[in-house]
């Protein structure tokens, strides 16, 4: 069952003048004990109800106001969306960032060798990430390094110039800006 109907059922069952137990909520809603417990937990998170004692819930002041205004609860976020994802620290890009911080001056092969764990297309992903960080001012492109083969055109190298911390900066999906979870700032990507 979707969480919104469960929350609404529990929310409607709680009376303004009483603290209802889990058994009373089960009987009033027709839901299972597990559903009542989960619905009540989500309502507590939303601050519409409070747990007075173990297994006994009552409306809070915001809950009373919501009920008087006929608020219908829906599933989804109960806080403003910021557009920023939580930074997962074991992604390929997070490992690339750690490799950049370790090497300071590097070529793509250097950081891919340190960060790759059998990802598909690591060179393409690493190239895109390095390009976005360079456009946002984190990396400075160094003069081309001469290759060892006589016909080599050489290869690109970069230097990390904005090392803001251990959390990997995250480009937005459209590649227009980079959000830095270390400084809580957004940096535009300049073409």
pLDDT in tens, 69-91: 888 877 665 555 555 555 557 88
Q: Which one, of 15, 19, 78, 18, lies nearest residue 43 by Cα? A: 78
- Can you tell me whether residue 174 is helix, strand or coil? coil
Q: What is the mean pLDDT of the chain?
A: 85
Q: How many CA atoms lie within 13 A of 71 on its CB side?
A: 16
Lowest mean pLDDT among 52-66, 112-126, 128-142: 52-66
Range 92-188 has CATH code 2.40.10.120: no
Q: Would you list the domain boundaries of the chain?
A: 3-68, 92-188
Residue bearing the bigger pLDDT, 15 or 176: 176
Q: Which of 43, 129, 50 is nearest to 93 (CA)?
A: 129
* Fold exhibited by the domain 3-68: Arc Repressor Mutant, subunit A (1.10.10)
pTM, to two decimals? 0.54
Inform me whether the pLDDT recorded for 55 exceeds 60: yes
Lowest mean pLDDT segment, chosen from 45-49, 124-128, 151-155, 164-168 = 151-155
Q: Where is pLDDT greater, at 35 or 86?
A: 35
Judged against a pLDDT cut of 70, whether residue 140 lies above it is answered with yes
Percentage, residues of the chain above pLDDT 70: 91
DSSP letter for each residue of 13-34? HS-TT--EEHHHHHHHH---HH
Residues 6+ apart with CB under 8 A from 30: 9
Tell me the per-residue pLDDT of 117-126, one tens digit each, with 9 for 90 and over.
888 889 999 9
Q: Output the pLDDT for position 17.
A: 76
> Which is nearest to 106 in space by CA: 145, 132, 133, 136?
145
Q: Do domains 3-68 and 92-188 have the same CATH topology?
A: yes
Task: Give me the pLDDT at residue 80, please.
Answer: 53
Is 161:151 a contact under the CB 8 Å cutoff?
A: no
- The confidence score (pLDDT) of residue 79 equals 52
H/E stretch holding 130 reads helix 122-135
């Amino acid at each position: 069952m979707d969480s919104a109907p469960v929350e609404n059922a529990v929310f409607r069952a709680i009376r303004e003048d009483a603290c209802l137990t889990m058994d009373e909520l089960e009987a009033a809603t027709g839901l299972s004990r597990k559903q009542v417990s989960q619905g009540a937990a989500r309502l507590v998170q939303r601050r519409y109800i409070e747990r007075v004692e173990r297994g006994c819930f009552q409306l809070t002041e915001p809950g009373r106001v919501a009920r008087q205004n006929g608020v219908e609860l829906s599933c989804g976020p109960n806080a403003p969306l910021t557009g920023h994802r939580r930074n997962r620290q074991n992604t390929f890009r997070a490992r690339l960032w750690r490799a950049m911080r370790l090497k300071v001056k590097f070529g793509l092969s250097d950081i891919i060798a340190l960060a790759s764990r059998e990802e598909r297309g690591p060179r393409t992903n690493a190239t895109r990430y390095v390009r976005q960080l360079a456009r946002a001012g984190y990396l400075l492109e160094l003069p081309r390094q001469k290759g060892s083969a006589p016909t080599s055109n050489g290869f690109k190298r970069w230097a990390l110039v904005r090392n803001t911390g251990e959390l990997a900066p995250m480009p937005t999906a459209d590649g227009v800006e980079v959000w830095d979870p270390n400084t809580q700032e957004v940096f535009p990507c300049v073409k």
